[in-house]
A = this chain, B = another copy of it.
Amino acid sequence: MRILMLNPNTTVPMTEQMVATARGFANPGTEIVGMNGHRGVPFVASRAEAAIAAAVILERLAELAEPFDAAVIAAFGDPGLGAAREMVDFPVVGLAEASMHAACMLGRRFSIVTFNHSLGPWYRECVEMHGMLDRLASIRVARGGVASINSIKDDKEAELFALATAAIEEDGADVLLFGGGPLAGLAGKLRDQIDVPVVEGVAAAVLQAEMLARLKTRRPVKGTYRKPPGKSSTGLTPALAALLASGPAS
Protein backbone atom coordinates (compact mmCIF):
# COMPACT_ATOMS: atom_id res chain seq x y z
CA MET A 1 0.00 0.00 0.00
CA ARG A 2 1.22 3.49 -0.85
CA ILE A 3 0.27 6.41 1.36
CA LEU A 4 0.96 9.99 0.42
CA MET A 5 2.01 12.17 3.33
CA LEU A 6 1.40 15.62 1.94
CA ASN A 7 2.87 18.34 4.12
CA PRO A 8 1.83 21.73 2.76
CA ASN A 9 4.72 23.36 4.58
CA THR A 10 7.90 24.00 2.63
CA THR A 11 10.23 22.67 5.33
CA VAL A 12 11.67 19.43 4.00
CA PRO A 13 13.27 18.21 7.25
CA MET A 14 9.91 18.44 8.98
CA THR A 15 8.39 16.14 6.40
CA GLU A 16 11.32 13.77 6.71
CA GLN A 17 10.85 13.68 10.46
CA MET A 18 7.14 12.98 10.05
CA VAL A 19 7.69 10.26 7.49
CA ALA A 20 10.37 8.61 9.60
CA THR A 21 8.15 8.68 12.66
CA ALA A 22 5.18 7.32 10.74
CA ARG A 23 7.22 4.47 9.29
CA GLY A 24 7.88 3.25 12.81
CA PHE A 25 4.16 2.70 13.28
CA ALA A 26 2.80 1.77 9.85
CA ASN A 27 1.94 -1.74 8.78
CA PRO A 28 4.65 -3.78 7.09
CA GLY A 29 4.46 -3.33 3.37
CA THR A 30 3.11 0.19 3.57
CA GLU A 31 5.12 2.67 1.60
CA ILE A 32 4.94 6.24 2.86
CA VAL A 33 5.77 8.91 0.33
CA GLY A 34 6.51 12.34 1.72
CA MET A 35 5.76 15.44 -0.28
CA ASN A 36 6.19 19.12 0.59
CA GLY A 37 4.52 22.29 -0.46
CA HIS A 38 6.33 23.54 -3.54
CA ARG A 39 5.47 27.06 -2.48
CA GLY A 40 4.08 28.64 0.67
CA VAL A 41 5.51 29.06 4.15
CA PRO A 42 7.93 27.00 6.25
CA PHE A 43 5.28 26.22 8.86
CA VAL A 44 1.57 26.99 8.63
CA ALA A 45 0.44 28.61 11.87
CA SER A 46 -2.51 30.82 10.99
CA ARG A 47 -5.68 30.78 8.96
CA ALA A 48 -4.11 32.90 6.24
CA GLU A 49 -1.22 30.50 5.90
CA ALA A 50 -3.66 27.60 5.97
CA ALA A 51 -5.66 29.15 3.14
CA ILE A 52 -2.51 29.27 1.03
CA ALA A 53 -1.69 25.73 2.11
CA ALA A 54 -5.08 24.49 0.96
CA ALA A 55 -4.48 25.83 -2.52
CA VAL A 56 -0.99 24.34 -2.50
CA ILE A 57 -2.42 20.96 -1.56
CA LEU A 58 -4.81 21.04 -4.50
CA GLU A 59 -1.98 21.98 -6.85
CA ARG A 60 0.14 19.12 -5.61
CA LEU A 61 -2.67 16.60 -5.79
CA ALA A 62 -3.42 17.69 -9.34
CA GLU A 63 0.13 16.91 -10.34
CA LEU A 64 0.20 13.34 -9.08
CA ALA A 65 1.38 11.03 -11.83
CA GLU A 66 -0.45 8.07 -10.40
CA PRO A 67 -2.97 7.62 -7.62
CA PHE A 68 -2.12 6.58 -4.08
CA ASP A 69 -4.13 4.23 -1.90
CA ALA A 70 -4.76 7.07 0.51
CA ALA A 71 -3.35 10.43 1.53
CA VAL A 72 -2.63 12.30 4.74
CA ILE A 73 -2.81 16.08 5.02
CA ALA A 74 0.20 16.35 7.29
CA ALA A 75 -0.56 19.63 9.06
CA PHE A 76 -2.44 19.62 12.33
CA GLY A 77 -5.22 22.07 11.39
CA ASP A 78 -6.18 19.93 8.37
CA PRO A 79 -5.97 22.65 5.69
CA GLY A 80 -7.72 21.79 2.46
CA LEU A 81 -9.10 18.54 3.78
CA GLY A 82 -12.61 18.77 2.37
CA ALA A 83 -11.31 20.23 -0.88
CA ALA A 84 -8.93 17.32 -1.32
CA ARG A 85 -11.68 14.83 -0.61
CA GLU A 86 -13.78 16.25 -3.40
CA MET A 87 -11.02 16.07 -5.98
CA VAL A 88 -9.22 12.75 -5.61
CA ASP A 89 -10.37 9.18 -5.98
CA PHE A 90 -8.72 7.83 -2.83
CA PRO A 91 -9.40 8.53 0.87
CA VAL A 92 -7.81 11.55 2.50
CA VAL A 93 -7.41 12.13 6.24
CA GLY A 94 -6.19 15.11 8.20
CA LEU A 95 -3.53 14.92 10.87
CA ALA A 96 -5.71 16.54 13.52
CA GLU A 97 -8.81 14.64 12.52
CA ALA A 98 -7.07 11.28 12.58
CA SER A 99 -5.52 12.00 15.97
CA MET A 100 -8.80 13.06 17.49
CA HIS A 101 -10.74 10.06 16.22
CA ALA A 102 -8.07 7.78 17.63
CA ALA A 103 -8.12 9.68 20.93
CA CYS A 104 -11.89 9.22 21.21
CA MET A 105 -11.39 5.45 21.27
CA LEU A 106 -8.82 5.72 24.08
CA GLY A 107 -10.59 8.10 26.46
CA ARG A 108 -13.59 10.36 26.82
CA ARG A 109 -11.78 13.69 26.57
CA PHE A 110 -8.45 14.69 25.10
CA SER A 111 -6.18 17.68 25.45
CA ILE A 112 -4.03 19.17 22.73
CA VAL A 113 -0.63 20.52 23.77
CA THR A 114 1.18 22.70 21.29
CA PHE A 115 4.06 25.10 21.09
CA ASN A 116 2.94 28.35 19.55
CA HIS A 117 0.38 30.82 20.76
CA SER A 118 -1.29 31.49 17.43
CA LEU A 119 -1.97 27.78 17.03
CA GLY A 120 -4.36 27.62 20.00
CA PRO A 121 -7.46 29.31 18.57
CA TRP A 122 -6.92 27.88 15.10
CA TYR A 123 -6.71 24.36 16.50
CA ARG A 124 -9.86 25.02 18.51
CA GLU A 125 -11.63 25.98 15.29
CA CYS A 126 -10.39 22.72 13.77
CA VAL A 127 -11.81 20.79 16.74
CA GLU A 128 -15.14 22.53 16.17
CA MET A 129 -15.04 21.76 12.45
CA HIS A 130 -14.84 18.08 13.28
CA GLY A 131 -17.64 18.31 15.86
CA MET A 132 -15.33 17.31 18.71
CA LEU A 133 -15.78 20.22 21.11
CA ASP A 134 -17.53 18.04 23.69
CA ARG A 135 -14.57 15.68 23.64
CA LEU A 136 -11.99 18.41 24.14
CA ALA A 137 -10.68 18.82 27.69
CA SER A 138 -8.35 21.72 26.85
CA ILE A 139 -5.79 23.18 24.50
CA ARG A 140 -2.60 24.22 26.25
CA VAL A 141 0.07 26.25 24.56
CA ALA A 142 3.73 26.86 25.43
CA ARG A 143 4.83 30.42 25.96
CA GLY A 144 7.32 32.38 23.95
CA GLY A 145 8.41 32.28 20.34
CA VAL A 146 9.82 29.65 18.04
CA ALA A 147 13.56 29.86 17.49
CA SER A 148 13.76 27.00 15.02
CA ILE A 149 10.93 24.92 13.70
CA ASN A 150 13.23 21.94 13.32
CA SER A 151 14.42 21.91 16.91
CA ILE A 152 11.28 23.15 18.62
CA LYS A 153 10.47 19.65 19.80
CA ASP A 154 13.67 19.49 21.80
CA ASP A 155 13.83 23.16 22.77
CA LYS A 156 10.46 23.09 24.48
CA GLU A 157 10.31 19.50 25.64
CA ALA A 158 10.28 20.31 29.33
CA GLU A 159 7.55 22.90 28.97
CA LEU A 160 5.42 20.68 26.76
CA PHE A 161 5.75 17.88 29.29
CA ALA A 162 4.63 20.23 32.06
CA LEU A 163 1.63 21.31 30.02
CA ALA A 164 0.69 17.68 29.40
CA THR A 165 0.80 17.01 33.11
CA ALA A 166 -1.33 20.06 33.84
CA ALA A 167 -3.87 18.99 31.22
CA ILE A 168 -4.25 15.65 33.00
CA GLU A 169 -4.30 16.98 36.54
CA GLU A 170 -6.29 20.17 36.09
CA ASP A 171 -8.34 19.77 32.92
CA GLY A 172 -9.29 16.13 33.20
CA ALA A 173 -7.65 14.94 29.99
CA ASP A 174 -7.88 11.20 29.41
CA VAL A 175 -5.68 11.28 26.30
CA LEU A 176 -2.94 13.61 25.11
CA LEU A 177 -2.19 14.90 21.63
CA PHE A 178 0.88 16.90 20.75
CA GLY A 179 -0.40 19.21 18.05
CA GLY A 180 1.73 20.25 15.12
CA GLY A 181 3.88 18.45 12.61
CA PRO A 182 7.15 19.65 14.18
CA LEU A 183 6.32 17.64 17.30
CA ALA A 184 6.33 14.33 15.40
CA GLY A 185 8.16 11.80 17.48
CA LEU A 186 7.60 13.50 20.82
CA ALA A 187 4.78 11.17 21.83
CA GLY A 188 7.06 8.18 21.63
CA LYS A 189 9.74 9.90 23.64
CA LEU A 190 7.47 10.97 26.50
CA ARG A 191 4.87 8.24 26.53
CA ASP A 192 6.20 6.40 29.57
CA GLN A 193 6.36 9.54 31.68
CA ILE A 194 2.81 10.66 30.95
CA ASP A 195 0.01 9.06 32.91
CA VAL A 196 -2.49 8.72 30.08
CA PRO A 197 -2.24 7.46 26.50
CA VAL A 198 -0.41 9.82 24.15
CA VAL A 199 -1.41 9.61 20.50
CA GLU A 200 1.42 10.11 18.03
CA GLY A 201 -0.37 12.15 15.40
CA VAL A 202 1.45 11.12 12.26
CA ALA A 203 1.11 7.50 13.30
CA ALA A 204 -2.61 7.90 13.81
CA ALA A 205 -2.93 9.63 10.46
CA VAL A 206 -1.08 7.00 8.47
CA LEU A 207 -2.88 4.17 10.23
CA GLN A 208 -6.29 5.78 9.69
CA ALA A 209 -5.38 6.31 6.04
CA GLU A 210 -4.47 2.65 5.77
CA MET A 211 -7.75 1.73 7.45
CA LEU A 212 -9.81 3.79 5.01
CA ALA A 213 -7.94 2.31 2.05
CA ARG A 214 -8.56 -1.19 3.35
CA LEU A 215 -12.28 -0.50 3.75
CA LYS A 216 -12.40 -0.35 -0.07
CA THR A 217 -15.29 2.08 -0.11
CA ARG A 218 -16.38 3.49 -3.41
CA ARG A 219 -15.90 7.04 -4.62
CA PRO A 220 -19.13 8.87 -3.74
CA VAL A 221 -21.32 10.00 -6.62
CA LYS A 222 -23.79 11.59 -4.23
CA GLY A 223 -23.37 13.38 -0.92
CA THR A 224 -21.07 16.07 0.30
CA TYR A 225 -17.74 14.84 -1.06
CA ARG A 226 -18.77 13.76 -4.52
CA LYS A 227 -16.67 15.32 -7.23
CA PRO A 228 -18.17 18.62 -8.43
CA PRO A 229 -19.11 19.09 -12.09
CA GLY A 230 -16.29 20.06 -14.40
CA LYS A 231 -15.62 23.75 -14.50
CA SER A 232 -13.50 26.12 -16.55
CA SER A 233 -11.01 28.34 -14.79
CA THR A 234 -8.37 30.95 -15.38
CA GLY A 235 -4.97 31.57 -13.89
CA LEU A 236 -4.56 28.22 -12.14
CA THR A 237 -1.73 25.75 -12.71
CA PRO A 238 -2.42 23.68 -15.81
CA ALA A 239 -2.73 20.51 -13.77
CA LEU A 240 -5.19 22.02 -11.33
CA ALA A 241 -7.19 23.59 -14.13
CA ALA A 242 -7.39 20.21 -15.79
CA LEU A 243 -8.48 18.54 -12.57
CA LEU A 244 -11.25 21.09 -12.01
CA ALA A 245 -12.35 20.73 -15.62
CA SER A 246 -12.48 16.96 -15.46
CA GLY A 247 -15.69 16.55 -13.45
CA PRO A 248 -16.93 13.24 -12.10
CA ALA A 249 -16.22 10.02 -13.95
CA SER A 250 -19.18 9.20 -16.12
Q: Shortest Cβ distance from A118 into chain B, in angstroms?
A: 5
Chain B residue contacts of A14, Cβ below 8 A? none
- Chain B neighbourhood of A107, CB < 8 A: 220, 223-225
Q: Mark A215-228, 1 if CB is under 8 A from B, else 0.
A: 11110111111101
The interface size of chain A toward B, counting residues with CB under 8 Å, comes to: 102
Least distance between A47 CB and chain B CB atoms (Å): 4
Q: A235 to B129, alpha carbons, bound, how many Å?
A: 29
Query: Which of A86-94, A153-161, A178-186 is the interface stretch?
Result: A86-94
Instruction: Give complex CA distance A105, B25 in Å.
Output: 20
**A173: CB under 8 A from chain B?**
yes
A82 at interface by CB-CB < 8 Å: yes
User: A86, B48: Cβ atoms under 8 Å?
Assistant: yes
* Interface contact A48-B58, CB-CB below 8 Å: yes
Contact residues, A86-127 vs B (CB, 8 A): 86-87, 91, 93, 97-98, 101-102, 104-109, 118, 120-122, 124-125
Please give the count of copies of this chain that the complex contains: 6
Closest-CB distance, A2 to chain B (whole angstroms): 15
Collect the chain B residues with CB atoms within 8 Å of residue A231's CB. Answer: 41-42, 45, 49
28 A–B contacts from the bound complex (CB under 8 Å): A27-B27, A27-B210, A40-B235, A41-B231, A46-B228, A49-B228, A52-B233, A55-B55, A101-B101, A104-B131, A105-B212, A106-B212, A107-B224, A108-B121, A118-B226, A121-B174, A128-B129, A168-B222, A174-B223, A174-B225, A191-B218, A192-B218, A195-B222, A196-B220, A197-B217, A203-B214, A207-B214, A208-B211
Write the residues of chain A forming the contact surface with B, with a CB cutoff of 8 angstroms: 10, 25-29, 38-42, 45-52, 54-55, 57-58, 80, 82-87, 91, 93, 97-98, 101-102, 104-109, 118, 120-122, 124-125, 128-135, 145, 168-169, 172-175, 188, 191-192, 194-200, 203-204, 207-208, 210-212, 214-218, 220-226, 228-229, 231-236, 240, 244
